[in-house]
Structure 1
Amino acid sequence: MTSANRNLLKYLVALLAILAVATIGFVFYRSVYLPRSVLAMLPTPDLDDLEEQVAGEIRNRRIAVEKNLDSAEEWGRLGMVLDIHNFKQESIPCYKRAAALNPNEFRWSYYGAIVLNETVSPDAFEWFERSNKLKPDYAPLQVHYGQALLNAGHFEEAEKTFKRVVSLLPESSHGYLGLGKIALARGNLQESRQHLTKALDLDPNHREVHGVLADVLRRLGKSEESAKELQIANQLPKVARLKDPVYEELVAEGKSAVWYRDRGFNFLAQGMVDEAIEEFLMAMRLRPDPDGYNHIGNLLSRKGQPDEAISYYQTAISLAPNNVISYNDLGEALLNSGRPDEAIAWFEKCFRVSPKFPDSYLNLSAIYLLADRSADAISTLRKGVRSTMGFIPISVRLAWLVATTPNQELRNGAEAMILAKTACQKTEYSDPKILDVLAAGYAEAGQFDNAIQTARNAYQLAQSSHKEELAKQIKLRLSLYLAGKPFHTVE
């Protein structure tokens, strides 16, 4: 063998040795070091206080990741189940790993952007931009991004983003709400009002819009209009859901009783009562509570199924024996099932447990009136007025009865005037129905001039508020007062 051949052989041996070492190193990196480093990224949330089905789902998703460390789907789904059960920080590394393995999957960057924004991370904007490149025409993304920009004080960028929402989703109130908030932040109150009014044209039940508009009106010095908007806002659901099919996939991962109830309320907001009941039933199987069973009973009652509702009210009472709301609702269901005597017993039990609970007085008096027991109805309402410190609906019903009952022995014009006048004062003489009752009280007491003037005021208010049937009835009673006659109901 020549010297040259020997050198070549040495070179080849050395090269093979290097390749062997490299291969061993690569195999070690892939099989030992990389899995260890990747596994170190796996979050370890405290599952001790979770409902078992939730803890089990998180454990199963974690095992799936351990078996498929290169699967973006498994990492992302682990992030989803952590995210939706309020392990926000723990979900972030999962979304980041999923996005690194599959950078073209919109869900991982979108969910990551939202949770980073919720945890006030400065990385949120980078992730919103990444999502925007993947799906620039997805309107819910623009809503979230616009709100994040607005919160950070980037008004110009936020304005462009919300204008894009309006162009992509013209039927949604969220874009105009965003524009209204930006105008408010800039001090442009009239412009803000215009945007918010447009938002309410699109969705009259958007609570946040009413709340922001109340603030705008207050700053404009329109205190009465502001108070009205605030009152409306307080009666509406806290969240006006944005139609977001991608995020709904995340919401569907919720396995806790809380999430079943949340989805139930979501179905309810869409008028899907049967679907809502199924979600509430699942929540009760996981975590029974009296309010939940009572709510199911109310939904069945709303559907005209009082017999089915009764058992749920009874279950609610078994869990909370002194819950007067359940007593009252059960009484109503029994009444609607044609069992008035049983209903009366439950309404009376309300008095004994909670004398200040107003609905039971109204319901029991209604039963007595249906049974032509006016004296019992009046007695019940008088107890209600004393116990509830003059609760307006009780006072008004009692005033009407003692002013208009056909039983002369039960009529009391002076009492009717006092009750109705107090109710009018509490409502600032703005309710035409209460004014109508006050007019009837004046007439029964023989004060026809006051009855005529009050009835005319009630008629004008009823007309201006488009209550045509009430206006018609007031006009008929007014004709009696003009003739010097009180109004009495017919037996």
Structure 2
Amino acid sequence: MAGWSPPAVPVRKCRSRADDPGGRRRSPVSGRESAPWVQAAGLLLAVVAGAARCGGQKESIPRPDLARVDAELRQAVEADQDTVRKAPGSAEGWGRLGDRYRYHDWLPEAAQCYARAEQLEPGEFLWPYLRGLTLARIDPTASAKALSRALEIGPDYAPAHVNYAQVLAHLGRLEEAREQFERASGLDPTSSHAELGLGQLLLASGQYPAARDHLELALQRNSEHREAHLALSQAYMALGEQEQARRHAERARQLPKETFMDDPRGSRVPPPAGARAHMEIGRELQKRGMLEQAAEQYREALRSDPNLEKVHYNLGTLLAKQGKLEEAAVSLGEAVRLDPDDQEARYSLGLVFSSLGKLDDASRHLRTVLERKPDNADAHYNLGTVLARQGQLDQAFGHLAEAARIRPEHADTQVNLAAVLAQQGKTDPAVAHLREALRIEPDHAKAHKILGDLLIEQGKSQQGMNEYRETLRLQPGWPEPARRLALALATRPKPTPQDLAEAVKLAELACEETGRKNPLALDTLAAAYAAARQLDRAATAAQQALEIAASTNQPELVRQIRARLSQIQSPSGETRGASR
């Protein structure tokens, strides 16, 4: 295939066999010169015969095998083919047929259609460009020639330079690739793909500082460019900056697997037809955040072919993002039924069951994932979290420890290990894991919060309050650390007026953030008011807390709040604590 491109098809002018080389027209029967009326009849016959022969010599329409496609797509393909058959001189008709073939991965046939369009309209940039994009996956050498031709016609289209550079790099023509990436970056100062390409070339040649600079610029242009984060992680690792490398690797893990370049001229899409077309449109809409429209496209695909496992998976993950967990479980369950070996679908189903509180089902699916792939750190992490919620703390610790062994630089794993240890009463090792989490991710709000809880328990009140303050700096609206800090301030041995004012403010914040429906927050507000000698307000808050605790069947909390209310209403009005 190397060097192949669709052969040029000359436009032939057909001659009738009745045409005389010398310019005279002879009778097709006797060879004698004919009378004028006979000549006219002969001419008519010749034109008809010549037209028939020319029809036989027209370029045939490439026809992929449609035996296994669904009826909707087959009808659309045949309609596009019929359009070309009726208007074989239309470059746009050939181009639209090429679009249909390319969209459905009939790439050799698509390339032939674009080549015919180019012959019919040789000055049009679009046809060699689309032919080059099509050939990139099956014949890079021919692709490079086609893209070069397109850029001769339209030299100022930045995405074409990026695509040409990528093909050149694949062919090992690195200096030419560099020139094309630089040209693209100059034409489009927003192109992250151009700077990514330059960074990758420099990274491959060991020029790490220069690679870093181009990759940082790529992320300035698009902070969510996954491939730039990955490449920058490699550059920082080579430069010995491990923390930066870890940060970019972790960010890449959170982003979609591919960052698509904005290329309107190369992204011609035929009208949707068939299950695959609806699936692809759904994926594109989902990437743009148009979730309702994407879901409808997935459902349309499943109406064409209900056995498409990947569509069930895509629809299930989309529904999970929308919070429609019951529907998500149905779609993901169908994906797993159609392909029991799809561990990604099974893993996602486990997460949905976990979010639904169906912990036994979640545990079963996550265990199956680990049977097939024992080194799946995410599965160990989530299974450990599910087991902790089930109270199976030893098993939970085992899976979380395995997740930490496989992926030691994951802060959330360290936090959950600490939470399990804290439940087991192992405060010192729990604190150690939290400090490790904060070494990995210094701004981890949950780690600061839990560390504050444990330090308070250890009697290190000031250190604990510092951790709560850091938590609220990172996540200002979080009611629980606000409540706990308020409680610590209100119940310290010798609170200052500033302590008490801050305690009231924080307790009021916790109550507002919980809609004044959380009995613990209201009980803490009562304690803060009582410590600040605002006894009427303290009694009102305690009464509200008592009513909510009683209506939600929390007898132990009811007992504690009644004791608090009794203290508030006593002559001294003293209170030395609230519900933790």
RMSD, aligned α-carbons: 4.6
1:437 is the counterpart of 2:450: yes
The Cα shift of 1:203 comes to: 0.7
Q: 1:291 to 1:136 in 2, by over 3 A?
A: closer
**Using the alignment, how far apart are the partners of 2:335 and 2:161 within structure 1?**
45
Which of 229, 249, 254 is the equivalent residue of 1:210?
229
Q: How does 1:340-489 map to 2 (within 5 A)?
A: 346-351=358-363, 380=391, 382=393, 385=396, 388-389=399-400, 396=415, 414-419=425-430, 421-422=432-433, 425=436, 430=441, 432=444, 433-434=446-447, 436-438=449-451, 440-441=453-454, 443-444=456-457, 448=460, 466=474
Q: 1:60 to 1:418 in 2, by over 3 A?
A: same
**Using the alignment, how far apart are the partners of 1:12 and 1:223 within structure 2?**
83
Which of 1, 22, 32 is the equivalent residue of 2:53?
32
**Using the alignment, how far apart are the partners of 1:351 and 1:117 within structure 2?**
44
Cα deviation, 1:81-118, whole Å, max 9, x if unaligned, reads 22221121222222111111121333221111112233
Q: What's 1:236 paired with?
A: 255
Q: What's 1:16 paired with?
A: 25
Q: Is contact 1:417–1:442 with CA below 8 Å preserved after alignment?
A: no
Q: What's 2:165 paired with?
A: 146
The Cα shift of 1:258 comes to: 3.8
Contiguous gaps of at least 5 residues in structure 1 = 1-10, 333-342, 366-376, 404-410
1:171 is the counterpart of 2:190: yes
Which of 314, 324, 339 is the equivalent residue of 2:330?
314
Give the letter for the 2:454 counterpart.
Answer: G
Give the letter for the 1:314 counterpart.
Answer: V
Q: What's 1:77 paired with?
A: 96
Q: Is contact 1:347–1:360 with CA below 8 Å preserved after alignment?
A: no
1:198 is the counterpart of 2:210: no
**What SS is found at the alignment partner of 2:77?**
helix
Q: 1:85 to 1:24 in 2, by over 3 A?
A: same
Which of 352, 357, 367 is the equivalent residue of 1:329?
352
1:94 is the counterpart of 2:103: no
Cα deviation, 1:415-452, whole Å, max 9, x if unaligned, reads 34445545655775645533542453355356x4xx86
Moved more, 179-188 or 86-95: 179-188
The Cα shift of 1:472 comes to: 7.5
Cα deviation, 1:201-252, whole Å, max 9, x if unaligned, reads 11111111112212222322323322332232233222212222222223x4
Q: Is contact 1:430–1:461 with CA below 8 Å preserved after alignment?
A: no
Normalising by structure 2, what TM-score? 0.61
**Using the alignment, how far apart are the partners of 1:113 and 1:107 within structure 2?**
10
**What SS is found at the alignment partner of 1:240?**
coil
**Using the alignment, how far apart are the partners of 1:296 and 1:66 within structure 2?**
38
Which of 252, 259, 284 is the equivalent residue of 1:266?
284
Q: Give aligned-pair identity as a percent.
A: 23
Moved more, 163-172 or 208-217: 163-172
**Using the alignment, how far apart are the partners of 1:395 and 1:157 within structure 2?**
47
Q: What's 2:156 paired with?
A: 137
**Using the alignment, how far apart are the partners of 1:62 and 1:119 within structure 2?**
23
**Using the alignment, how far apart are the partners of 2:207 and 2:418 within structure 1?**
48
Q: What's 1:277 paired with?
A: 295
Q: Is contact 1:291–1:316 with CA below 8 Å preserved after alignment?
A: no
Q: Is contact 2:236–2:245 with CA below 8 Å preserved after alignment?
A: yes
Q: Is contact 1:362–1:394 with CA below 8 Å preserved after alignment?
A: no
Q: What's 2:501 paired with?
A: none
**Using the alignment, how far apart are the partners of 1:176 and 1:12 within structure 2?**
64
Cα deviation, 1:239-281, whole Å, max 9, x if unaligned, reads 212222222223x456453443333232222222232222222
The Cα shift of 1:311 comes to: 4.4
Of structures 1 and 2, the larger Rg is shown by: 2
Contiguous gaps of at least 5 residues in structure 2 = 1-19, 29-38, 341-345, 371-378, 405-411, 495-523, 525-576
Q: 1:388 to 1:287 in 2, by over 3 A?
A: farther
Give the letter for the 1:437 counterpart.
Answer: I
**Using the alignment, how far apart are the partners of 2:70 and 2:348 within structure 1?**
28
Normalising by structure 1, what TM-score? 0.71
Q: 1:44 to 1:482 in 2, by over 3 A?
A: same
Q: What's 1:108 paired with?
A: 127
The Cα shift of 1:329 comes to: 3.0
Give the letter for the 2:298 counterpart.
Answer: F
Q: Is contact 1:385–1:394 with CA below 8 Å preserved after alignment?
A: no
1:249 is the counterpart of 2:262: no
**What SS is found at the alignment partner of 1:123?**
helix
